[in-house]
């Protein structure tokens, strides 16, 4: 399991992110506060508080590739 924090700056980033996550076999979840949503669901992603960093958890055979795909969104 891999975990990082990410931050979106534009709606286009969110759309591209969801499209990218749909290509992976791993389970990818986003966490904001007490809410956890599937990162492959655009409706789920937009339901989160996007003003703050969001936790991303990837678990599966290609979890390293998921983290590589979001490297531009990662925040400390």
Q: Helix or strand or coil: residue 68?
A: helix
Domains of the chain by residue range: 2-75
- Residue 31 and residue 4 in contact, taking contact as beta carbons nearer than 8 Å: no
Tens-place pLDDT, residues 6-58: 999 999 999 999 999 999 999 999 999 999 999 999 999 999 999 999 999 99
pLDDT of residue 54: 97
pLDDT of residue 25: 97
pLDDT of residue 1: 96
Does domain 2-75 sit in CATH 3.30.1340.10? yes
What's the CA gap between 62 and 49, in Å, rounded? 27
The pTM is what?
0.93
């Amino acid at each position: 399991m891999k975990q990082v924090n990410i931050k979106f700056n534009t709606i286009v980033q969110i759309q591209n992110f969801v499209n990218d996550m749909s290509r992976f076999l791993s389970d990818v979840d986003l966490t904001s506060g007490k809410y956890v949503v599937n990162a492959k669901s655009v409706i789920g992603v937009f339901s989160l508080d996007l003003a703050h960093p969001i936790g991303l958890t990837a678990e599966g055979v290609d979890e390293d590739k998921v983290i590589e795909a979001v490297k531009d969104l990662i925040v400390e």
